[in-house]
Structure 1
């Protein structure tokens, strides 16, 4: 059976990373700190040798799993993949709960910034974090007094979780100012969609992240609220989430045809098409901003390319890459980039973003959306 470390090397090679460079970097790093795996029929690598030597020679009792985790995290960093993450076995439950939209915490999503700092990528509406005043792009300083500088995503998420009604101390940096919060954790249950009647026959639907129930919840909202005059789909501050759910959501508004395509190493492009035959045909606007990212950009790009909606706001984040979560032999998981998205018209999203049809200042988007819907209704008469 392969060790987690051997599994990670195999994953890197199959995903197209420069595994040789990554392993070479690790050999230099780990020659001083880690070391080797014995008992293999093949020749052991310098990394595996280092792990074994530390385990046999270091006077301090050590666990192989701890050293292998350090090696895996170093390999992910050496790969240069900004979105790569490692989830130890004990963190996998937190990951699954986040994607399902059901957990006990404060209602935020995190991501690593381009400089490697953990920052808030989404704040769920009416969550403890929203009530406390946490904002998208706040950088994490510490959680309960434990510094987050250099911490992994899994470590930070685990620190944020806890039993309902327990308190959490959170330090963030915003505009070069340090701010402290005391927040009480709550059970978060599928609160990623907020919908209400915005105007006569106009429905407003806000999506804070693309979790497993989002497409279903949006379909329910469309059935509940009269919207013959229009739909305002708010994807501002939405970090993305599950690609298959994003496709299902876009399919509520787009009949047959491409939603998004992506390419993997040495494979033909994969084209994902609309999954619905019966679609909503009401006039539509989509709100985006600089924190609209990933699969949320996929939705906006598809609706824009296929002339289904008017996109309003500011240019989106530009995270147009596909990550895949892969199992390792010990029950842990890695998340690595395996492809790049293209819109139905072939536009690249990564590092570019989605440019709005109407550039509108922050705070004016909903007002502009209503004006646009009114204009579309007038044209249709």
Structure 2
């Protein structure tokens, strides 16, 4: 897999299983590494300058960034480890848990993870900006954490008995990760309960797209579940749509529930499969709009579409959902999404380490900034605690009659199909040839 010098990532989260949301830089450790071993202060200054040039907030979150530089360049550093510690301290001044430094091993792990060969427990975690608690964005389906019953919005209060109070996000990730076959115990706070999950780490092969041909009230429909926006997600989505179009489905349910996000380009590519025209997303840095992505007239279908979302739908999921909602291409059903609207650029440093810098925020086509606010569905369908428990314990029930949100989506899709028939749109569900 070709690795770019730097890459845009969505959702400012860390993965205890892997950092599939980023593209990093190749690890070529030669003269640059030797240079930084001799002059670790130069590494500190390089990171400072990256923030100075690219950070999304020109005020650096009200931090005197020039004074920070003077403070850290006045120090003496005996080795690279000293420099790494200083860099982490320096970045902490921004109070942005998503702008973070990775030592060479952490960065190497990130790069390995982008290849899709993952190890760990299978959760994406984030640090609450106000409480600094470690929060589960979403467990990834068919992973040890998912099988154990870990859920979106769970708060990790301890890892192997070590309290996470005051713990850095990177430290939490390091403690959760480990060799295949080893165990880690996560202490979870869920509402007013404390639950211990002892989970066996594993190697995880992720296929982000699953689809099924199902019967619906108005004829056969296509059900597609997208679990994350990894590098292979767009290819698998294209295959799913093509297969279902061949079977002449009348409409689609796209399930983005508990999808924690991923690669920016993946969300854009997938949006173009559903949208014939219209804006998809705008990314905005401290100078204003820097990029706007739009549909390219190559949609794979225009058949009626309903999208399922919930509190675990984050980042790239919110880009796709927001684009489909604002362009009136789909009806959104479920609960409010997570609310991650930040973009990171991951950059390599010459000693093999790397830094993720928050460089932009994204807006939906109608200009909505969903960071922290999330996206509100067109039709709100809450699950009761018992319903969530049942779906968590039996994942095969997701997307079936035992899934209340799916049932509601199916009913709404039937309404959309009937409306399309009345306006003679359904017969041209497949985009006309050009």
The match for 2:274 is 253
| Cα distance in 2 for residues equivalent to 1:295 and 1:184 | 28
| Cα distance in 1 for residues equivalent to 2:202 and 2:214 | 28
The match for 1:212 is 231
The answer to whether the 8 A contact 2:241-2:300 is kept is no
Deviations 1:17-51 (A, max 9, x none): 54693557868xxxxxxxxxxxxxxxxx3323333
| Cα distance in 2 for residues equivalent to 1:84 and 1:148 | 19
Report 1 or 2 for greater relative contact order, CA contacts < 8 Å, sequence distance ≥ 6: 2
1:130 aligns with 2:146: yes
| Cα distance in 2 for residues equivalent to 1:74 and 1:292 | 31
1:189 aligns with 2:210: no
The match for 1:12 is 51
Structure 2 spans left out of the alignment, 5+ residues: 1-34, 36-40, 384-402, 422-434
Moved more, 4-13 or 15-24: 15-24
Match of 1:69 among 84, 88, 105: 84
Deviation at 1:227, TM superposition (A): 5.9
Match of 2:117 among 102, 110, 114: 102
The match for 2:156 is 140
Alignment of 1:339-378 (within 5 A): 339-362=360-383, 364-378=404-418
Moved more, 192-201 or 179-188: 192-201
Secondary structure at the aligned position of 2:74 is classed as: helix
Deviations 1:182-204 (A, max 9, x none): 21222211233332234352222
| Cα distance in 1 for residues equivalent to 2:182 and 2:297 | 43
| Cα distance in 2 for residues equivalent to 1:227 and 1:372 | 19
Secondary structure at the aligned position of 1:51 is classed as: coil
Secondary structure at the aligned position of 1:202 is classed as: strand
Structure 1 spans left out of the alignment, 5+ residues: 28-44, 56-63
| Cα distance in 2 for residues equivalent to 1:160 and 1:305 | 38
The answer to whether the 8 A contact 2:278-2:327 is kept is no
| Cα distance in 2 for residues equivalent to 1:96 and 1:147 | 29
The match for 1:58 is none
| Cα distance in 2 for residues equivalent to 1:223 and 1:116 | 44
The answer to whether the 8 A contact 1:94-1:158 is kept is no
Q: Calculate the TM-score normalised by the size of structure 1.
A: 0.85
1:167 aligns with 2:186: no
Q: Calculate the TM-score normalised by the size of structure 2.
A: 0.75
Secondary structure at the aligned position of 1:12 is classed as: helix
The 1:368–1:21 alpha-carbon spacing in structure 2 relative to 1, beyond 3 Å, is same
Moved more, 190-199 or 128-137: 190-199
Number of residue-to-residue matches in the alignment: 354
| Cα distance in 2 for residues equivalent to 1:101 and 1:71 | 32
Deviation at 1:350, TM superposition (A): 2.1
* RMSD over equivalenced CA pairs, Å: 2.4
- Which ranges of 4 or more aligned residues in structure 1 deviate by more than 4 Å? 22-27
| Cα distance in 2 for residues equivalent to 1:190 and 1:150 | 32
Deviations 1:318-377 (A, max 9, x none): 221211112223221111211121112222222332121111222632111100111111
The 1:22–1:329 alpha-carbon spacing in structure 2 relative to 1, beyond 3 Å, is farther
The match for 1:89 is 104
The answer to whether the 8 A contact 2:258-2:313 is kept is yes
| Cα distance in 2 for residues equivalent to 1:102 and 1:216 | 17
The match for 2:74 is 49
The match for 1:116 is 132
The 1:167–1:275 alpha-carbon spacing in structure 2 relative to 1, beyond 3 Å, is farther
Secondary structure at the aligned position of 1:3 is classed as: helix
The match for 2:398 is none
Moved more, 11-20 or 252-261: 11-20
The answer to whether the 8 A contact 1:111-1:153 is kept is yes
The answer to whether the 8 A contact 1:25-1:78 is kept is no
The answer to whether the 8 A contact 2:156-2:164 is kept is yes
Secondary structure at the aligned position of 1:222 is classed as: helix
The match for 1:203 is 222
Secondary structure at the aligned position of 2:230 is classed as: coil
The 1:153–1:95 alpha-carbon spacing in structure 2 relative to 1, beyond 3 Å, is farther
| Cα distance in 2 for residues equivalent to 1:222 and 1:287 | 17
The 1:82–1:186 alpha-carbon spacing in structure 2 relative to 1, beyond 3 Å, is closer
